[in-house]
Chain A
Amino acid sequence: MSENLFAKLTEHQLSDLAGLGCQLDGEGACLLTVPAERLLAVMKMLRDDVASSMNYLGDITAVDRGEAGFEIIYQLFSVTRGVKATVKVKVPKDKPEVPSVVSLWPGADWMEREAYDLMGVTFAGHPELKRILLDEDFAGHPLRKDFRMQPRE
């Protein structure tokens, strides 16, 4: 079905990605771990590069690793080339912020709002970062490990 992205990239492209601070893990799922400040550059390269052309953003999820902070995970897929890749960003617990990718994939809008709503990760540059699933008055982010139920009226 879908092939490994890294096998399709040239040496030059791979070194470009490594130069942007990516850790590449080609075993099993094709996984890139990216520092938050380089995320947009890496994503833009993955989307526009002819070898990868990741033109479809499948999903954005966030994982609470407790003291180790949060992981924001992007599932990318190339409809034209049939390859997929996973991009992972690690952010600290006290400042969970990553740049928004709405400028690259407009569909990221609601996915980022959901991650913000339930996990409290902020996406810098998002056009309208507000709650999407919970009511506006809700206090806290319920999928965080340290979330405790508040009694409601």
Chain B
Amino acid sequence: MEMKNDTLNESKIKEFLKNNIIVTSFDAIVRWARSNSLWPLSSGLACCAIEMMAAGASRFDLARFGYEVFRPSPRQADIIIVAGTLTWKMAPAMKRLYEQMPEPKWVIAMGGCACTGGPFKDSYSVVPGVDKILPVDVYVPGCPPRPDALIDGLLQLKAKIQNPDIARKKE
């Protein structure tokens, strides 16, 4: 910016700062970092887990987005992908795994069974949707969903993490 032979008056200083300094918040940077390296918990319950594994393998390559580090321990995980049919017998264990994860944490319901109970909705043993016991962030329908669908679900979660306002409930 040409500034020589010119008096530095206040309005010009303001104009100069406006065009050359980016102001951001610490929150935004943290959100950006979090949303680009989500560590999922290896929580396969049924056939959807096979598609989840396929999403992590070379053909679909979840690592492109930074989500490939499937953790065997809930202490190290950021998201829990409920991949498959959740029965009432398994529900307490799943809930405990979720409670053991450190904040912040997110839940993806993968497949028809996890979303609503699927074909087993009226069964005596199946939880009709994991949102009965866990706060679900993203629903990925399908029976089972293809790896593409799971990746899309993770990217939806990424958008949700980066823009928490869009997910906020209306007052």
Contacts and interface: CB of A to CB of B under 8 A. Distances in A.
B89 A134 contact: yes
Interface in B122-137: 122, 124-125, 132
Contacts of B122: 149
B88 interface: yes
A34 B11 CA distance: 103
Contacts of B91: 135
A133 B89 contact: yes
Contacts of B132: 153
Nearest to A147: B124
Nearest to A153: B132
A135 B87 CA distance: 9
Q: Which 6 A-B pairs have the closest CB atoms?
A: A135-B89, A142-B124, A135-B88, A134-B125, A149-B124, A134-B89
Nearest to A142: B124
A12 interface: no
Contacts of B88: 134-135, 138, 152
Interface residues of A, number: 9
Interface string A142-153: 100001010011
B90 to A, nearest CB: 9
Contacts of B125: 133-134, 138, 142
B42 to A, nearest CB: 23
A138 B127 CA distance: 13
Contacts of B89: 133-135
Nearest to A131: B89
A147 B123 CA distance: 12
Interface string B113-147: 00000000010110000001000000000000000
A143 to B, nearest CB: 9
A152 B121 CA distance: 12
Interface string A110-140: 0000000000000000000000011100100
A146 to B, nearest CB: 13
Contacts of B92: 135
A151 to B, nearest CB: 10
Nearest to B127: A152
A153 B88 CA distance: 11
A108 B124 CA distance: 25
A148 to B, nearest CB: 10
21 contacts: A133-B89, A133-B125, A134-B88, A134-B89, A134-B124, A134-B125, A135-B87, A135-B88, A135-B89, A135-B91, A135-B92, A138-B88, A138-B124, A138-B125, A142-B124, A142-B125, A147-B124, A149-B122, A149-B124, A152-B88, A153-B132
A74 B125 CA distance: 26
Nearest to B125: A134
B100 to A, nearest CB: 20
A142 B88 CA distance: 14
